[in-house]
Amino acid sequence: MPGCRLNSIMTRRLLHFPGQGCRYYVHGRCLLEERRNPGLELAWRCRVLQSWGDAYDRFLDQVEAFSLSDETAMRIWKRRMQHLGHPRQWCDEFVPAFDADNAPELPSGVAADEVASVGCLHILEDLCLKELPACAGVCAYFEPRREHAAAEDGHRHE
Ligand code: SF4
């Protein structure tokens, strides 16, 4: 039937609108599941922060085992931090966000202080943008960003 054929051609050609206007969209990635279940998906965490966090946990175990005072513990930890190594040692995909001469632009929606600790272009809070699921386009869960919603409200009241 011609109607069915037309339908199937249209379905095949149907393109989703990019999700840029959605509050869960960050640099081509989708934050919806992370916002619903914060911290649940370990694979989305920055590997460098995870490794540093693991090292700190091991250190706390030692502090407890040897009953170290806070002062001694702090002194030892400061020394250990200097030997944690460059983030590149922990992650092959590290890209410096603050390369003095040639700093790449931060992805939209990512604030400079969010990359400060690891200094990687791909970090967002403790998440790695490269690991988050890709946004496939506007979906049933689309929610406009606040600034878009506010602008729309403004137009409605004009
Ligand atoms: S690419 Fe960057 S944000 Fe991602 S795991 Fe590596 S250091 Fe962390």
Ligand 1, atom 8, lies closest to the CA of 46
For residue 143, the CA-to-ligand 1 centroid distance in Å is 27
Q: pLDDT tens-digit profile of 53-84?
A: 888 899 999 999 999 999 999 999 888 887 87
For residue 129, the CA-to-ligand 1 centroid distance in Å is 8
Question: What percent of the chain shows pLDDT beyond 90?
Answer: 44
Dihedrals phi, psi of 17, to nearest 5 degrees: -65, 145
pTM for the complete prediction?
0.72
108 pLDDT more than 60: no
Q: Which residues have a Cβ under 8 Å from the Cβ of 15 and sit 6 or more positions away?
A: 137
